[in-house]
Amino acid sequence: MTVVGGTPHRTPVPRRGGAVGQSVHDSLVVAWRNVIRMARIPEVVVFALIQPIMFVVLFSYVFGGSIAVGGSTKPSLYREFLMAGIFAQTVTFATAGAGAGIADDMHKGLIDRFRSLPMARGAVLTGRTLADLVQTALTLVVLAVVALIVGWRIHDGVPKALAGFVLLLLLGYAFSWIGALIGLSVRTPEAATSGGLIWLFPLTFISNAFVPSGNMPTVLRVIAEWNPFSSTVQAARELFGNLPAGYPVPSSWPMQHPVWASLIWSALIIAVFRWLSVRKYRSATG
């Protein structure tokens, strides 16, 4: 600190590697802070696992013998068909947690404290979404173990299966930016949780996650086939080798090219909602 004309003047802190390097550094610092916070509250992770495990058990054993997949009602076929949908639902439902966490930080004034530090403005949100991605990845690992126990298998090798999980995590990361925008737009964590879930139910159920989209009425079928959620589910099924013989693949472009459709949708959602979230953050803390 120096004195200029009798007035204290704080010497600017040198930025690491320019604006981009500073932003990356600050984002990782905030992400690590949130990961440590999650580790100190393990019940958050435990409760996040309960719902998807319940969905696996209920859909596998309650509906497994009554829903036809590829012309067959064998429960084992439906379990393999189902798991990509459960994985995708799990990563997207993390949106509510991301929104609630940011709303909680806003409510407690933590964001104002971050604002007083010499750090990149977007780093607070990027760090939070990266930390949520770590939690989602851990949840997917546990859920995959449960799926293997109930009979789910991969059939096209580990590299393709890993690619399928990468697409699922990318979708979850994209949706966490929607959660960030919701968290910045409401006043309480409770409102963020409700706002983060209410639109996810129609998105996930008007899709090919739990039933083949070809069984739906025309309007719902078109919505389901162009749903970004459906593209990732279809891509994961192909990469896991979980499409049964005789399963009719819809003729729409996203269903014919699900990997590309999933990548495009996720990149588009990240680009749009990150820009909106950072803009909202700046106006909320300005």
Compute the distance between CA of residue 184 and CA of residue 76 in angstroms, rounded to an integer: 43
Compute the distance between CA of residue 100 and CA of residue 80 in angstroms, rounded to an integer: 32
Compute the distance between CA of residue 130 and CA of residue 125 in angstroms, rounded to an integer: 9
Would you list the domain boundaries of the chain?
Answer: 39-285
Compute the distance between CA of residue 208 and CA of residue 86 in angstroms, rounded to an integer: 11
Among residues 26, 8, 59, the alpha carbon closest in space to that of 204 is found at: 59
pLDDT in tens, 175-224: 999 988 998 888 788 888 788 788 888 999 999 988 888 888 999 999 99
Q: What is the pLDDT of residue 223?
A: 94
Residues in CB range of 211: below 8 A, 6 or more apart: 67
In our burial notation (b when 16+ CB lie closer than 10 A, e otherwise), range 145-178 reads ebbeebebebeeeeeebebbbebbbbbbbbbbbb
Compute the distance between CA of residue 134 and CA of residue 130 in angstroms, rounded to an integer: 6
Compute the distance between CA of residue 190 and CA of residue 104 in angstroms, rounded to an integer: 9
Instruction: Judge whether 134 and 35 are in contact, CB under 8 Å.
Output: yes
> The whole model's pTM is what?
0.84
| Residue 144 in this model has a pLDDT that exceeds 50 | yes
Per-residue pLDDT, averaged over 64-87, amounts to 76
Determine the Cα angle at 146 with ends 63 and 46, to 5°.
105
Compute the distance between CA of residue 279 and CA of residue 198 in angstroms, rounded to an integer: 24
Of 230 and 77, more confident = 230
The two three-digit tokens of residue 226, written as one number: 């162009």
Residues in CB range of 282: below 8 A, 6 or more apart: 121
70: left (phi over 0), alpha (psi -120 to 50) or beta: left
Per-residue pLDDT, averaged over 111-123, amounts to 69
pLDDT in tens, 16-55: 556 677 778 778 887 888 778 777 777 767 777 787 788 7
Q: What length is written for the chain?
A: 286
